[in-house]
């Protein structure tokens, strides 16, 4: 077995791992990145990027109906060319992938294609397929664990890739289903429910908690649920899946929820050869039998550490399989020189790509002997890219009260502004702050079109302990949706113009 030495070894080339590798190399360190699949990881190949590409197409489809129904544009949707849509998505992924590969190469990162397992605190054995043996790598400065996560599955509901799928294969399954049962009302479940509805499928969304996006502000869940129901999605919250089984025949009777959209084109050829029948216990009443062509299991993600041989470095996981850092400021574990980033981290890390980028920067800079500021987890924005979107940062109203804050809350419908009326999709801005113009902004919660693009100023407000008076000082362009954010702060600052408190 050959032996190699470098400054830093990173295991896993997803957003957490490749950002660590790039920054460390930019800072002059020798870096070896081990990846068993494709650099870019979940986010680029099975997560953020392909799903948002598809959701963009979904938005265009929804726009046809809006054009006709609201604006007199005599447009109809002819059909959806699934293969063309997929080709555009794949081209975006492929160009991003090439970009990441090029950046790693330009930075001088050695990328080893293989599966890594720890052989000691800073020594890694890499099985390289086809190379006829393993490589041994030792890190002088540090080892970074960035092996990410995979979809959680449920016993008895193992993915078949066809009728029972996870987010890993939902977008890659052949054709579009005519009906989908989505299990899980977190961000991924909501996005996929929204996407399939835009594509013309009958969609039922089942969430065990009392509300969708249970970690978000209750008003966000309420507005989102109302909007999804208006779009014809059947939303069952406080509902439990009792059991499910594959059905042989195509579920012609599956369309029990929602109202089919006349202009949604042919939602693909469907998935041939049957579907799934599930028994669901709703919050009230008797169990329902829901049949659908596809069951999408979106019940969370689990960290990936199998085969990693953490014990060789003296590391253990917590009860949920995460690798906890001993020091959240540097993300170093209890074993000196071993760091962890990305989805492998427990909360307060958030299982989000942009959080993992920030973690990668912190670890690389620490390894280079700098003293970076720790990741400010309280100010990481959270977005759901459904229609409508949700975006938030900081504390919900309930969490702020639970934390002992006295709070002032202001809610403004987006339709209170001219641009909100133009979009005509409802939505809101909700600000949670300490009372008074100079009180601290604790949380901002947005629902509506394009709110993913609107959250960043609120992120600065929360991160920089700004007050409503600070934000109200800044002029928002007219007419924009961001005006609603400005107006909400103006009111809390005691200077409301159109919304007079």
Residue ranges in contact with ligand FAD by CB under 6 A: 11-17, 34-37, 41-43, 46-48, 51-52, 115-116, 146-149, 167, 188, 304, 307-308, 342-344, 351-354, 356
The long-range contacts involving 355-358, CB below 8 angstroms and separated by at least 24 positions, are: 355/380, 356/14, 356/15, 356/16, 356/19, 356/146, 357/15, 357/16, 357/19
**Contact, 69 vs 63, CB < 8 A?**
no
Q: What are the Cα distances from residue 164, in Å, to 246, 247, 277, 457?
A: 8, 11, 11, 40
- Give me the residue label for tokens 């899946």: 241
**What is the closest distance, in whole angstroms, from the C-beta atom of residue 11 to ligand FAD in the complex?**
5
Q: What are the Cα distances from residue 199, in Å, to 50, 196, 362, 423?
A: 16, 5, 41, 21
The verdict on whether 478 is a catalytic residue reads yes
Nearer to ligand FAD, 125 or 261 (CB): 125
**Alpha helices for 344-413 (secondary structure H):** 353-367, 397-402
Nearer to ligand FAD, 234 or 356 (CB): 356
Nearer to ligand FAD, 145 or 157 (CB): 145
**255 vs 218: CA distance, rounded Å:** 30
**What is the closest distance, in whole angstroms, from the C-beta atom of residue 150 to ligand FAD in the complex?**
7
**What is the closest distance, in whole angstroms, from the C-beta atom of residue 22 to ligand FAD in the complex?**
12
Nearer to ligand FAD, 366 or 415 (CB): 366
Nearer to ligand FAD, 216 or 470 (CB): 216
**What is the closest distance, in whole angstroms, from the C-beta atom of residue 94 to ligand FAD in the complex?**
16
Strand 164-165 and strand 288-292: the pairing is unpaired
CB-based burial, 13-34: b 16+ in 10 Å, e otherwise: bbbbbbbbbbbbbbbebbbbbb
CA of residue 112 relative to chain centroid, distance: 28
The tokens for 325 are 């850092």
Three-class SS state of 99: helix
130 Rama sector, left if φ>0, alpha if ψ -120 to 50, beta otherwise: left
Nearer to ligand FAD, 20 or 396 (CB): 20
**What is the closest distance, in whole angstroms, from the C-beta atom of residue 270 to ligand FAD in the complex?**
22
Nearer to ligand FAD, 447 or 490 (CB): 447
**What is the closest distance, in whole angstroms, from the C-beta atom of residue 159 to ligand FAD in the complex?**
13
Best CA proximity match to 309, nearest among 126, 140, 133, 141: 126
Nearer to ligand FAD, 392 or 417 (CB): 392
Neighbours of 336 (CB within 10 A): 10
The tokens for 170 are 């939902």
Strand 382-384 and strand 389-394: the pairing is antiparallel
**What is the closest distance, in whole angstroms, from the C-beta atom of residue 118 to ligand FAD in the complex?**
9
**Contact, 315 vs 338, CB < 8 A?**
yes
**332 vs 458: CA distance, rounded Å:** 30
**What is the closest distance, in whole angstroms, from the C-beta atom of residue 348 to ligand FAD in the complex?**
14
Catalytic residue among 56, 245, 474, 478: 478
Tell me which residues are annotated as active site. Answer: 478
């Amino acid at each position: 077995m050959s032996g190699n030495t470098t400054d830093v070894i990173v295991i896993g080339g997803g957003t957490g791992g490749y950002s660590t590798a790039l920054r460390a190399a930019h800072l002059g360190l020798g870096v070896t990145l081990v990846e068993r699949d494709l650099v870019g990881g979940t986010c680029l190949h099975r997560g953020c990027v392909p799903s948002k590409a598809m959701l963009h197409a979904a938005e265009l489809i929804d726009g046809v109906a809006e054009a006709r129904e609201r604006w007199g544009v005599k447009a109809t949707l002819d059909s959806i060319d699934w293969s063309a849509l997929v080709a555009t998505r794949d081209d975006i992924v492929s160009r991003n992938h090439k970009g990441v590969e090029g950046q790693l190469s330009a930075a001088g990162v050695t990328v080893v294609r293989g599966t890594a397992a720890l052989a000691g605190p800073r020594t890694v054995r890499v099985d390289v397929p086809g190379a006829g043996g393993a490589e041994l790598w030792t890190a002088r400065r540090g080892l970074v664990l960035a092996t990410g996560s995979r979809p959680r599955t449920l016993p008895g509901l193992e993915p078949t890739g066809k009728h029972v799928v996870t987010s890993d294969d939902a977008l890659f399954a052949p054709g579009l289903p005519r009906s989908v049962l989505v299990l899980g009302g977190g961000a991924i479940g909501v996005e996929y429910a929204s996407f399939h509805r835009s594509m013309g499928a009958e969609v039922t969304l089942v969430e065990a908690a009392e509300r969708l996006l249970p970690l978000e502000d209750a008003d966000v869940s309420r507005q989102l649920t109302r909007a999804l129901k208006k779009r014809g999605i059947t939303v069952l919250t406080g509902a439990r899946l009792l059991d499910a089984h594959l059905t042989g025949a195509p579920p012609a009777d599956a369309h029990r929820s929602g109202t089919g959209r006349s202009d949604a084109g042919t939602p693909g050829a469907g998935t041939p050869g049957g579907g799934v029948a599930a028994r669901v216990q709703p919050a009230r009443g008797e169990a329902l039998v829901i049949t659908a062509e596809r069951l999408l299991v979106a019940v969370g993600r689990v960290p990936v550490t199998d085969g990693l041989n953490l014990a060789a470095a003296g590391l253990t996981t917590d009860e949920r399989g995460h690798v906890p850092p001993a020091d959240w400021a540097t993300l170093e574990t209890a074993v000196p020189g071993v760091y962890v980033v990305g989805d492998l981290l427990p909360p307060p890390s958030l299982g989000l790509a942009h959080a993992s980028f920030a973690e990668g920067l912190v670890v690389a800079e620490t390894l280079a002997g700098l003293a970076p500021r720790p990741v400010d987890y309280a100010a990481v924005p959270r977005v759901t890219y459904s229609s409508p979107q949700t975006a938030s940062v900081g504390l919900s109203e309930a969490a702020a009260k639970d934390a002992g804050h006295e709070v002032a809350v202001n809610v403004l419908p987006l339709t209170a502004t001219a641009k909100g009326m133009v979009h005509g999709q409802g939505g809101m801005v909700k600000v949670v702050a300490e009372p008074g113009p100079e009180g601290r902004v604790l949380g901002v919660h947005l629902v509506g079109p394009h709110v993913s693009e609107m959250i960043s100023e609120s992120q600065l407000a929360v991160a920089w302990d700004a007050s409503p008076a600070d934000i109200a000082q800044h002029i928002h362009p007219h007419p924009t949706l961001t005006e609603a954010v400005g107006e909400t702060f103006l009111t809390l600052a005691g200077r409301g113009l159109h919304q007079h408190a």
